[in-house]
Structure formats: C-alpha cells, structure tokens
Amino acid sequence: MFFQFGPSIEQQASVMLNIMEEYDWYIFSIVTTYYPGYQDFVTKIRSTIENSFVGWELEEVLLLDMSLDDGDSKIQNQLKKLQSPVILLYCTKEEANTIFQVSHSVGITGYGYTWIVPSLVAGDTDVVPAEFPTGLLSVSYDEWDYGLEARVRDGVAIITMATSTMMMDRGPHTLLKSECHGAPDKKTPISGNPNEVLRYLMNVTFEGRNLSFSEDGYQMHPKLVIILLNKERQWERVGKWENGSLSMKYHVWPRHELYGGAASREDDHLSIVTLEEAPFVMVEDVDPLSGTCMRNTVPCRKQIKSVNQTKESGIYIKRCCKGFCIDILKKIAKSVKFTYDLYLVTNGKHGKKINGTWNGMVGEVVLKNAHMAVGSLTINEERSEVIDFSVPFIETGISVMVSRSNGTVSPSAF
C-alpha cells in the first residue's frame, strides 16, 4: 500500500464545485485531455451535480486529443463551442500551455471567463507559463503552510502512532518486532493478519489532527489552498479548504481588479441593482444547510453599513431573489447571453433627487455602480433625463373612484 500526503482528483473536483457554489457560478463546461484520471474527474463532477439541489448547468464536456498532428486546428474548432463563463480544465501542465494558447486565439481566456484547474495543471508555482491566463484559479495541496519538513514529521508520527497503538491493542504477541536486529526465523509461523498493520496506519490521529488515509492511499482530510494567478503573474493564495470547509478571501469575485480597464468596456457580465418589492422582487434567506439559493431563485447580495452607520462597508450578506422581474431577467440573460451580479439597493428605494444627487436604483445607475436596474420603477420626465428606460412590461393606471349613486339623478343637480 502506498500512502501519500495529497488529495485525490475526486477531492479536488469536489473543492472546485464548492468554489463555484461560493460565487454562484452554476453554468460551466469541462475540458479534458486523455491524461489518466480524466474519467474519474468527469464522473465525480457529473455525479455531484446530479445529486445536488443546486441548479447546475453543465453545458459542454470536451475531450481533446493532443496527439494529433493538426491538433491545434481541431482543438480550436472544439473550443469555439464553449460559451460558459466558467471552465474546468483537467490535463497536464504541458498540455495546458497549448490549450490556453489556442483558447486565447478563440477569445475565451479574458474578462468574462474563469478557468479552474487542479494542482496537476498548476504544477510548480515558481514557474508560470506565459500562456496561463490572468485570473486562473487552481486547487492545490497546501505546501504554503504545510511544507516538506512538516510532512516528514507527520509521516514518521503516523508510523510511530500506528505501531504503538497496535502493540498496545495486541500485547506482546503483536505481528511487529520491537527491534530490527537479526533475521526472522522462517520456521516460526507469524501469527495475525498482515492487513492489521495497514488498518492501523490508515487510522491515525496526531496532535488533535486526523491523519487518516483512504483505501486508495490518499489523505481523508487534506489541507488544500485555492491560488489565483494575479495581474503581476504571481500565484496568490485566495482561499483554503480544511476539515471539509471552504473559506475565501473575496466575498465578491474581483473581476474588475483582475483585468485592468474592464469596468469601462462593454462585455457580457453586468452589475445589476434591484429593490425588494413583492411580487416583482421577493427576497429570501439562503438554504441554511448548503448556504446556496434554491433553483427558482437568483443569488443577490446586500451590503451592510459600518458601525458608525454613515457609509456602507465592504461586508455583505448573501440573499436569494425571486419574483416577476427576476423571471424576466433570467430569460433575457439566457437569450442575450450575459451573466450578472445582482445586488439590493441600500441607499434609498426607487430613486429620488435630493440636493442635486440621485439615490436609490436610479442613483446606482447614474453613478455607474450598476450597469442597469431591474424592478418596479415608474417612468417620469425627471428620471428619463438621466437614465434610459426599456419598454414598460406592466402599466398601472391611476384613477379616481367615487361611490355609485342609486336611483335617478335630480334635475336640480345640474
């Protein structure tokens, strides 16, 4: 049996999906080569999303043959099929160089696209190929805080603790020898099951940490880090996976910070503001178990004010929005093919001009905090001067109602 301090490809695939859940990236595609393990990778992804109540949409699964002589042109034709904002890639580091080079020519490595790869692709973090796109995410073993010296120490501890526990359980008749001198007597039968040693080695707790291994030889609870290739072409640690829990540095993914000038150009990812107002927009809490939104809702965030209550902080709470306007937004996004971040307005409501400054949803669009607003918003002349409205999808009239008179009207009434 071979034990290794590292995660299996299935464990890394699971963490990839957790990252996507954290940022509500539910629409994605998979790209793999024929490198061994690709079937396990795809199978793990498929089985997880099929048994999840999260509204995953796996659009494409591309299998690239890197051995063909004219492979680049065929790879290019295959990659042109990709429209997903998130792409999971499984291959070697050398294969990734070619794939990213072709992907760049197709236009799917810039702003609006997020690639996530396992540690196999990232490889040595000190060497970053020029083909790797900015914003690339990788799930890697935690060699940042868990270096070689610490792993050697834990490896020795595993053997020591396992043999010690076994000798305590089995007494002096244990299978293990207490010293290494002399050759074993072949005539003397060895009592006990050799698999006993394996069982003890696979179940070790040391200094309060679970160092158990699976039957495949991988750690049951590996410490993983999520690293990001930033604008300086350096791998930056932006999250960690420990004891089955994910924690990320960014609450909202920093798309604009990763790509200089992206905020001022047209693209297919929009920031959209809305206002809670039933039945047009209704707001619910996230599912308490998974921390995600149910299928009929859309993730939306609401910023909270700082302690002095005079300005908004960078802290937000995650909510789930649904309703008539949200249904329309989802259909438009699918037809026009754009993605979006949805947030709730906190400065005012619909939009009012106070001392020359707009607040509410109108103010968010005027100040360019949002590309557009979605909700129940009345069109008037003052608002029309600063923002553009779509064609109204619902119109409500204002009427004056009086009680109906019974009988005839007296002639003297006129």
In the chain (414 residues long), the average pLDDT of successive 10-residue segments reads: 74 92 88 95 94 85 86 87 93 94 91 89 85 92 67 73 74 53 48 63 71 69 87 90 82 63 56 92 85 80 64 69 92 83 88 91 92 90 90 72 70 62
- Residue 144 φ/ψ, nearest 5 degrees: -75, -50
Order of strands across the sheet that contains 372-374 = 282-285, 312-322, 298-305, 339-344, 269-274, 372-374
Structure tokens at 210: 């679970």
279: how many CB neighbours lie within 10 A of its CB?
A: 10
Q: Tell me the angle at which helices 71-79 and 93-106 cross, rounded to the nearest 10 degrees.
A: 60
With beta carbons less than 8 A apart as the criterion, state whether 74 and 65 touch. yes
**Closest to 369 measured CA to CA, from 204, 256, 248:** 256
In this predicted structure, what is the pLDDT of residue 51?
87
**Helices then strands, each counted (H, E), the chain:** 11, 18
Q: Which stretches of 323-413 are assigned E, i.e. beta strand?
A: 339-344, 353-354, 357-358, 372-374
In this predicted structure, what is the pLDDT of residue 333?
86
C-alpha count within 13 angstroms, C-beta hemisphere, residue 386 = 18
- Domains annotated for the chain, with CATH where assigned, are 9-145+223-248 (3.40.50.2300), 148-182+190-210 (no CATH), 268-384 (3.40.190.10)
* Type of residue numbered 79: L
In this predicted structure, what is the pLDDT of residue 190?
45
In this predicted structure, what is the pLDDT of residue 55?
77
Structure tokens at 296: 């009929």
In this predicted structure, what is the pLDDT of residue 178?
46
Burial class (CB in 10 A: 0-12, 13-18, 19+), 48: middle
Measured CA to CA in angstroms, residue 88 lies from 125, 286, 290 at distances of 19, 26, 22
In this predicted structure, what is the pLDDT of residue 181?
46
In this predicted structure, what is the pLDDT of residue 185?
52
With beta carbons less than 8 A apart as the criterion, state whether 275 and 344 touch. yes
Give the C-alpha separation, 220 to 203, whole Å: 10
The full length of the chain comes to: 414
In this predicted structure, what is the pLDDT of residue 155?
75
User: Which residues have a Cβ under 8 Å from the Cβ of 320 and sit 6 or more positions away?
Assistant: 283, 284, 285, 286, 293, 294, 297, 298, 299, 300
Which pTM value belongs to this model? 0.66
Give the C-alpha separation, 218 to 358, whole Å: 57
**Closest to 8 measured CA to CA, from 31, 34, 32, 36:** 36
